[in-house]
Amino acid sequence: MVATWDTQIKVINASEKLVSVSATRTDGEDIQIYNINNVIVDTYQQKLDVIDLIWDKFQESLTKTSNENAIVSALEIQANSALNNKEIE
């Protein structure tokens, strides 16, 4: 299944073009939500910057998940081996 994104924009102050953005990424049953609060989106570059901030948050979550999975995997292997060895003793 292909991941999809849905964004919600809430205007905080229209005259200042101040908004909050919520981006939801859905990939099968995995749903992640990224929020950027109180950002000015007056220029094209500022809009691109908000998109980049959301993408950066997504990338950070991938790195964090990958690191956590590596820790769990290593511990599971070591724990299973050690506990199985204790059964044999």
Domain count, the chain: 1
pLDDT for 52 equals 97
Beta carbons of 1 and 27 less than 8 angstroms apart:
yes
Across the 89 residues of the chain, what is the mean pLDDT of every consecutive 10-residue run?
A: 94 98 95 96 97 96 84 86 84
d(CA 79, CA 48): 46
pLDDT for 34 equals 97
Whole-model pTM?
0.73
Range(s) of the domain holding residue 19? 4-88
pLDDT for 85 equals 87
User: At residue 1, what is the residue type?
Assistant: M
Residue with tokens 């102050």: 13
What are the pLDDT digits (tens) for 40-57?
A: 999 999 999 999 999 999
Beta carbons of 39 and 18 less than 8 angstroms apart:
yes
Structure tokens at 70: 């590596």
pLDDT for 35 equals 97
The gap from C-alpha 70 to its chain's centroid, in whole angstroms, comes to 18
pLDDT for 77 equals 84
